[in-house]
Structure 1
């Protein structure tokens, strides 16, 4: 077995010029012996494809996605139950189980998170962009409100007196894009006069019904089934077109 001490080299250190010169035969054995390459402080090993670095990056992305989803779910729940003004970023962070400072990183702030919450909530609404069955939509919206025991973030923002104009503006944009415009298209196709104005009236009725029904202020309204309320609002939508068709100067049907 090769021995450093047999060569005259001190164990654990380099050869000192003052020490006895090492045996040349031993030096030759050292050079010829297989040894692992030494990595200098200024060099780095080349990463292996699919190695730890790439796996760590994927893990960080999964963690970021999970954190963002947790914040979004918490915001949807809290905004739906308490409204925009009553909910703080600290409330959302605690509800999600993450640092509230991450709201700024992933969303840009409370108002932007609210927009994302409304958009995510609206994705669950199955509405054609060209037309709107007000009765069917009402049934779906009321069942959703019943399941969570609250009107939802969109309705809460519309009815709040928020000092942040972005919140109400976002809610109004969503309402106009997803409900008012499709209903106006339907009323126009059915020959209603002023379809945009009539659509705003009908959707305003729907928003009021959702808010008041979940508040339990009116016993009969709260006890009515979503299907019965949907049929009532759909009948109101049809009345708008029928009254236009019966108006003087309108075409006979």
Structure 2
């Protein structure tokens, strides 16, 4: 007598497979949020794991150290919010419209809070040079691209700090118009 196969046996789910890229992305988003809210020194892998919905050991397995995770999270935020692929014409207006909507604030807050920790400060310096300033220099082009990139970076960082913590009311329209004109002058290479 031959036994029939149990149809339910084939329908049983196998071990749950993790989507590595989705998990990595959730951890990076949680890390960026945690580093932004808590600063580098106070952020912990356990908190990041909880926010990402994974075990802290998995955070360590994916990224190794807190410093490596900070670097990857900062690069992730930079890539997700890159604006230097935009057209040069009208750039100042476009950026001035983004400022009140708090766009790219995580970048500035992550960089500023990193300055309080020597390890994070060195990472922030290197990442900002390699992934912000140099691409901006390349995008701006001559003349004096490095100086113009530094001017733009200082201006945008200052506005982000002002908006996030120093000026609780909406930024006045005249300030945003000044920002748009100044950014466009930097892009156009005018003094």
TM-score, normalised to structure 1, is: 0.56
Structure ranking higher in helix proportion: 2
Alignment partners' CA distance in 2, 1:108 and 1:155: 24
Higher RCO, 1 or 2 (CA under 8 Å, sep at least 6)?
A: 2
Change (3 A) 1:93 1:229: farther
Judged with a 3 Å threshold, the aligned counterparts in structure 2 of structure 1 residues 104 and 214 are, in CA distance, closer, same or farther, namely same
Q: Is the 8 A contact 1:89 1:110 kept in 2?
A: yes
Q: Distance in 2 between matches of 1:79 and 1:140?
A: 26
Which residue matches 1:69? 25
Equivalences, count: 182
Preserved contact between residue 180 and residue 200 of structure 1 (Cα < 8 Å): yes
1:25-73 deviation digits (Å, cap 9, x = unpaired): xxxxxxxxx899xxxxxxxxxxxxxx99xx857x4243x4444333222
Paired residue for 1:175?
128
Q: CA deviation at 1:116?
A: 1.8
Matched, 1:128 2:85: yes
Inter-partner Cα distance in structure 1 for 2:101 and 2:78: 11
Structure 2 runs not aligned, ≥5 long: 4-9
Q: Secondary structure at the match of 1:159?
A: helix
Counterpart Cα distance in 1 of 2:131 and 2:179 = 17
Q: Distance in 2 between matches of 1:219 and 1:163?
A: 27
Matched, 1:102 2:58: yes
Partner of 2:190: 242
For 1:90, the equivalent position in structure 2 comes to: 46
Q: Contact 2:92 / 2:182 at 8 angstroms: preserved in 1?
A: yes
Determine the C-alpha separation between the residues in 1 that align with 2:186 and 2:116: 31
| CA pair 99-229 structure 1, distance change in 2 beyond 3 A | farther
Which residue of the partner structure matches residue 7 of structure 2?
A: none
| Cα pair 1:89 1:103 within 8 Å, conserved | yes
Deviations 1:97-153 (A, max 9, x none): 32212211011121111122122212222423997975256347526625xxx820x
Q: CA RMSD in A?
A: 3.7
SS at match of 2:56: coil
Q: Measure the CA separation in 2 of the matches of 1:188 and 1:105.
A: 40
Q: Are 2:99 and 1:151 equivalent residues in the alignment?
A: no
Aligned to 2:117: 163
Q: Structure 2: how far apart are the matches of 1:172 and 1:133?
A: 29
Q: In the aligned structure 2, how far is the partner of 1:94 from the partner of 1:144?
A: 28
The 2-side partners of 1:136 and 1:176 are apart by 25
For structure 1, the residue ranges without an aligned partner over 5 or more in a row are 1-33, 37-50, 244-253
1:228 aligns with 2:185: no
